[in-house]
Amino acid sequence: MRRDTLLVVLTTTCSALCWWPFFIMQAPGRSHLWFLPYPFIALLAGYSTFLSNGRWLRFVVASSIGTFVGVCSGGTIWPEEDGIAQSFLLYGAGVVTLVVALVSSLAGLVGRKLSAR
């Protein structure tokens, strides 16, 4: 398996799994922790870009797809108790995916400047 393929798969998988703890803990006070996965996903995209010699766009797409799949699958496996909140899952997944795309783009551009070559 090529190094870039492995990095894309790992970026997608890790971006998806970063969101699952928020769905597992069904506590009312979990809304104040919404920002925690973003730095990890940004570091992952930046480091993957660094290791792939500056190919940043594929990791932005991989982290965005992984985030969307992770939020949708986490909301499906561990649904909200409130049916109205559950009905807005796709809208929330779309917003979170756009923010992840922005954050990982910035990290990818920084990683591109610091390429491993």
Residues 11-57: pLDDT tens digits?
999 999 999 988 888 766 566 778 889 999 999 999 998 888 878 89
The number of domains in the chain is 1
Highest mean pLDDT among 20-29, 41-50, 63-72, 107-116: 63-72
Let me know if residue 95 belongs to a domain: yes
- For 10, what's the count of Cα atoms within 13 Å in the CB-facing half-sphere? 16
Let me know if residue 28 belongs to a domain: no
Let me know if residue 71 belongs to a domain: yes
Burial of 75 (0-12, 13-18, 19+ CB in 10 A): buried
- For 37, what's the count of Cα atoms within 13 Å in the CB-facing half-sphere? 23
Let me know if residue 44 belongs to a domain: yes
The region of weakest confidence among 34-38, 73-77, 98-102 is 34-38
Contact 52, 46 (CB under 8 A): no
Tokens 């954050």, located at residue: 103
Let me know if residue 30 belongs to a domain: no
CA–CA separation, 92 and 11 (whole Å):
21
The answer on pLDDT for 96 being more than 90 is: yes
pLDDT above 90: percentage of residues in the chain: 56
Let me know if residue 32 belongs to a domain: no
The answer on pLDDT for 64 being more than 90 is: yes
**Mean predicted lDDT score pLDDT of the chain:** 88
pLDDT average, residue stretch 87-105: 94
Let me know if residue 41 belongs to a domain: yes
Which structural domain range is residue 83 located in?
Answer: 3-22+37-113
Let me know if residue 14 belongs to a domain: yes
